[in-house]
């Protein structure tokens, strides 16, 4: 009981050999501060990872949406319908290849 009462009063901090105790207390305090800082750093990294994961999901969704629209725009039937709106129809004659001979021959 006497030892617990001495600790509660803080006699171990003001006694003649208290320098040893202060060194240990300061060392433990520094370790606790380092541990708290490390924990905060880890939490910030977890939040950053979660934010970036959500951003990747949004960008992937936008990519899939735009790719689907591009596929629709590239379809021959869509191009044909858009050209009909502008008054341009499909040619009945197939295209012919034009060969240009150089004049140096």
pLDDT tens string 26-66 = 999 999 999 999 999 999 999 999 999 999 999 999 999 99
DSSP codes, the chain? -HHHHHHHHTHHHHSTTHHHHHHHHHHHHHHHHHHHHHHHHHHHHHHHHHHHHHHHHHHHHHHHHHHHHHHHHH-HHHHHHHHHHTT----SSPP-------TT-
pLDDT of residue 9: 72
Mean pLDDT on 80-102 = 86
pLDDT of residue 104: 72
pLDDT of residue 105: 57
Q: Which domain holds residue 80?
A: 2-85
Position 96 in a domain: no
Position 51 in a domain: yes
Position 100 in a domain: no
Position 6 in a domain: yes
Is pLDDT larger for residue 10 or for residue 30? 30
Domain count, the chain: 1
Position 97 in a domain: no
């Amino acid at each position: 009981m006497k030892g617990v009462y001495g600790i509660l009063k803080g006699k171990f901090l003001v006694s003649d050999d208290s320098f040893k105790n202060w060194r240990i207390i300061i060392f433990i305090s520094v370790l606790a501060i380092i541990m708290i800082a490390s924990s905060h750093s880890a939490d910030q990294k977890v939040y950053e990872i979660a934010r970036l994961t959500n951003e990747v999901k949004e960008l992937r969704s936008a990519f899939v949406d735009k790719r689907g629209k591009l596929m629709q725009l590239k379809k021959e039937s869509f191009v044909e319908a858009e050209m009909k709106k502008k008054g341009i129809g499909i040619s009945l004659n197939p295209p012919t290849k034009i060969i240009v001979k150089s004049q140096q021959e």
